[in-house]
Amino acid sequence: MTEPPVVRLVDIRDQALDAQEVLDVLADQASGGVTLFVGTVRDHDGGKGVDGLEYSAHPTALDRLRDVCEEIAGKHDVQAVAAVHRVGLLALGDAAVIVATSAAHRGEAFEASRALIDRLKESVPIWKHQLFDDGTEEWVGTP
């Protein structure tokens, strides 16, 4: 019997993200813990009201996201890893990013998921353009 791949879903999409899809690809009987993080568009940042935001990705972003997932899978004792990020214009409450890991035990799943979102945020070239309710705007994460 061959083992399923540890990195099971990696994507950058201009369509709504689905947490259930991510959970479904991680499902297996060897995992005692699955952690799922959903980052959503909030209505404020830095003391200002946010109306929405737009994400843009560098052409290399998907490859870099895959590298990050493989890096996390190599450093943590996980059964599976998944990460999807949204690009385009998002409204308040929309899911911007979903990461998840599964492991035999909850502790490793939690640690791996936290490492995955932190590493994604620091190294995948995806940039956020925030639109504030006072008519101003701000780019976040640009080089």
**Closest to 8 measured CA to CA, from 102, 86, 76, 77:** 102
Per residue of the chain (143 residues), give pLDDT as tens.
445 679 999 999 999 999 999 999 999 998 999 999 999 999 999 999 999 999 999 999 999 999 999 999 999 999 999 999 999 999 999 999 999 999 999 999 999 999 999 999 999 999 999 999 999 999 987 76
Instruction: State the SS3 of 49-65.
Output: EEEEEEEEECCCHHHHH
Distance between CA atoms of residues 82 and 106, nearest Å = 16
Rounded-to-10 torsion of CA 28, 37, 78, 24 = 20
Architecture of domain 7-140: Alpha-Beta Complex (3.90)
The pTM (predicted TM-score) of the whole model is 0.94
Distance between CA atoms of residues 15 and 41, nearest Å = 15
